[in-house]
Each structure stands twice: as C-alpha cells, then as structure tokens.
C-alpha cells in the first residue's frame, strides 16, 4: 500500500529532486516493491503524456489578473 508520504517521495524521485542518499534508498525500495514501481510508472507515463501536449498561450488579461491578485495577497492587509 502506498502512503501519502511515499507518494510525495515518488514524485520527488520522478523529478530527480531527491538527494543522493534518498534517491539511492528509493531505488532500493523500488526493487522490492511492485506497488511503488507501478505507481512510479504511472507518474512517468502521465508526465510524458502531458509533455507531449502543445502548450497554449494564456491571454494577457488572465496573466495580468493573476499577477495583480498575487501582488494584492503579498501586500500587508489594511483595516
């Protein structure tokens, strides 16, 4: 059974974001855990599928709105 912390580690492993020791530990774990190997393959398959999709440009208005909202959230609240 895959636990939530294991899912996070699998995602980090798939990203190449684990340190050397943690990555080595994950490789060892994957050798003995078919459930995690299957989940890792699902993650990798999904990432390949998403990477194959063409990127779509966002409308400039959308970007301005999101960035404006972000800046507003970063500003100190005034009451």
What is the pLDDT at residue 77?
A: 63
Mean pLDDT of 57-76: 88
Q: Tell me the three state secondary structure of residue 23.
A: helix
Contact 47, 12 (CB under 8 A): no
Give the other-Cβ count within 10 Å of 57's Cβ.
Answer: 7
Report the C-alpha gap between 10 and 5 in whole angstroms: 9
What pLDDT, on a 0 to 100 scale, did the predictor assign at position 3?
66
pLDDT tens across 1-10, in order?
556 568 899 9
Q: Is the pLDDT of residue 38 over 90?
A: yes
Q: Which domains does the chain have, with CATH numbers?
A: 4-74 (1.10.10)
């Amino acid at each position: 059974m895959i636990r939530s912390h294991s899912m996070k580690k699998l995602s980090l492993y798939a990203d190449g974001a684990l340190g050397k020791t943690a990555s080595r530990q994950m490789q060892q774990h994957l050798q003995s855990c078919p459930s995690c190997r299957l989940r890792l393959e699902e993650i990798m398959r999904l990432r390949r599928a998403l990477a194959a999709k063409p990127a779509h440009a966002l409308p400039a208005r959308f970007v301005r709105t999101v960035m404006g909202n972000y800046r507003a959230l970063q500003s100190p609240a005034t009451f």
